[in-house]
């Protein structure tokens, strides 16, 4: 027999789900981890309290990890590289891949769109792949990605790879949530062709010239020298470690082990110098701010009393019957009084 009060019934059944989610996460259950991330991405009013509880719990249960940002324009072979690297790492580690795709204003698109990618890695029990959160989530993609990181860390994934498209919009925010920022380039394409701005190259802790195979090998070596020269002019990064440029081939695996060895050495060095901890702590403050801001927006936009008025005012503003500043002022007053 069903409960008489449907709200209590639903809340109770949800409560059980949450405990199941937590248990599943602690057991590195990929299906339940995926459900937990979906809950964290939810903007439904009824999910807010639950997701906050889940995230609070995840924060307290996060385990140590390497957070690595990977960027490069489409065509640089990032996915092939991540799959090849991931398959190499799953022997010793649990690898989570999170993708960020700031779908452009004009052409909405998704990194993991029509092509099904990283199939082999995705199937591996010690790997977890998660596409980009929807672009219209309140509080923004950065906030949602950080929450997915916390959940993956609670699930014991100790290598978190965060992939971006490299068009400049999301790289700055990803840089602020990772310990290490890897830039994947290819030889032959000029900077302008790769859509790379100096700023992105400047943020890199490590540059990999991919597709150094076959006829392309020599060109990749030349590109390596070029980038080495270019970055020699950049100021020393806060880590105190000069970025390196290496070549590799995600296709045949050349250079991937050496590349990962470099990453490991980097982490050992920054942990020893305590830059790892200090950078994480700085980033944590930013994380707190982002989380506050996105929660504030949720609070406002999911208040039923606000929602009704907001819809009416949106129509009035859209018809030119109300100035946007008048509408926002009235709505804020309404929010404060309710």
73 within 8 A of 210, measured Cβ to Cβ: no
Residue from 18, 230, 241, 297 that binds its own copies (CB under 8 A)?
297
d(CA 253, CA 84): 7
SS3 128: strand
CA atoms within 13 A on the CB side of 285: 5
**Applying CB under 8 A, does 332 fall inside the site for its own copies?**
yes
**Shortest Å, Cβ 261 to its own copies:** 28
**Applying CB under 8 A, does 74 fall inside the site for its own copies?**
no
CB closer to its own copies out of 134 and 299: 299
Residue from 225, 232, 252, 329 that binds its own copies (CB under 8 A)?
329
**Applying CB under 8 A, does 336 fall inside the site for its own copies?**
yes
d(CA 43, CA 310): 16
DSSP string for residues in 202-216: HH-SEEEEE---TTH
**Applying CB under 8 A, does 36 fall inside the site for its own copies?**
no
Residue with tokens 């400049």: 168
Of 3-11, 118-126, 194-202, 249-257, which segment contacts its own copies by CB under 8 A? 194-202
46 within 8 A of 141, measured Cβ to Cβ: no
Residue from 1, 4, 60, 119 that binds its own copies (CB under 8 A)?
60
184 within 8 A of 75, measured Cβ to Cβ: no
Residue from 292, 305, 308, 312 that binds its own copies (CB under 8 A)?
292
Q: How many residues touch its own copies (CB under 8 A)?
A: 56
Of 79, 89, 97, 88, whose CA–CA distance to 30 is shortest? 97
Residue from 134, 172, 222, 271 that binds its own copies (CB under 8 A)?
172
Residues numbered 125 to 164 that lie near its own copies (CB under 8 A) are 147, 150
Of 66-74, 77-85, 263-271, 313-321, which segment contacts its own copies by CB under 8 A? 313-321
**Applying CB under 8 A, does 279 fall inside the site for its own copies?**
no
Residue from 5, 299, 311, 312 that binds its own copies (CB under 8 A)?
299
Angle between the N-to-C axes of helices 48-61 and 30-41, in degrees from 0 to 180, rounded to the nearest 10 = 130
Question: Which H helix or E strand runs over 230?
Answer: helix 216-232
Of 10-18, 110-118, 190-198, 212-220, which segment contacts its own copies by CB under 8 A? 190-198
End-to-end Cα distance, the chain: 37
Distances (CA, A) of 199 to 20, 50, 169, 183, 189: 44, 39, 11, 12, 18
Question: Which H helix or E strand runs over 143?
Answer: helix 140-154
User: What string marks each residue from 105 to 124 as x (binds its own copies by CB under 8 A) or -?
Assistant: xx------------------
**Applying CB under 8 A, does 55 fall inside the site for its own copies?**
yes
Residues numbered 211 to 270 that lie near its own copies (CB under 8 A) are none
The residues near 178 (Cβ < 8 Å, ≥ 6 apart) are 67, 68, 69, 162
Residue from 35, 221, 293, 309 that binds its own copies (CB under 8 A)?
293
Footprint of its own copies (CB under 8 A): 52, 55-56, 58-60, 62, 104-106, 147, 150, 167-168, 172, 190-192, 195, 197-199, 202, 277, 280-282, 284-285, 287-288, 291-293, 295-297, 299-300, 313-314, 317-320, 323-329, 331-332, 335-336
């Amino acid at each position: 027999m069903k409960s008489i009060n449907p709200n209590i019934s639903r809340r109770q059944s949800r409560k059980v789900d949450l405990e199941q989610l937590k248990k599943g996460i602690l057991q590195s259950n990929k299906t339940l981890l995926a459900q937990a991330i979906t809950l964290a991405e939810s903007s439904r009013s009824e999910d807010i309290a639950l997701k906050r509880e889940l995230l609070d719990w995840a924060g307290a249960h996060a385990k140590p990890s390497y957070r690595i940002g990977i960027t490069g324009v489409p065509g640089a072979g990032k996915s092939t590289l991540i799959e090849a690297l991931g398959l190499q790492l799953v022997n010793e580690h649990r690898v989570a891949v999170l993708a960020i795709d700031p779908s452009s204003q004009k052409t909405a698109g998704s990194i993991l769109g029509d092509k099904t990618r990283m199939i082999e890695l995705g199937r591996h029990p010690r790997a977890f792949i998660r596409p980009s959160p929807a672009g219209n989530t309140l509080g923004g993609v950065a906030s949602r990605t950080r929450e997915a990181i916390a959940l993956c860390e609670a699930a014991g994934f100790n290598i978190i790879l965060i992939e971006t498209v490299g068009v400049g919009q999301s790289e700055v925010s990803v840089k602020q949530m990772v310990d290490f920022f890897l830039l994947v380039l290819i030889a032959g394409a000029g900077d302008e062709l790769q859509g790379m701005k100096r700023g992105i190259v400047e943020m890199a802790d490590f540059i990999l010239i991919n597709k150094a195979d076959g006829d392309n090998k020599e060109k990749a070596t030349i590109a390596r020298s070029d980038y080495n020269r270019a970055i020699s002019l950049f100021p020393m990064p806060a880590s105190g470690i000069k970025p390196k440029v290496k070549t590799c081939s995600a296709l045949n695996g050349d250079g991937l082990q050496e590349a990962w060895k470099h990453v490991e050495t980097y982490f050992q060095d920054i942990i020893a110098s305590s830059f790892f901890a200090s950078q994480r702590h700085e980033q944590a403050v930013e994380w707190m701010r982002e989380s506050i801001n996105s929660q504030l927006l949720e609070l406002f936009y999911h208040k039923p009393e606000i929602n009704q008025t907001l819809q009416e005012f949106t129509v009035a503003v859209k018809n030119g019957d109300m100035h946007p500043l008048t509408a926002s002022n009235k709505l804020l007053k309404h929010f404060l009084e309710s």
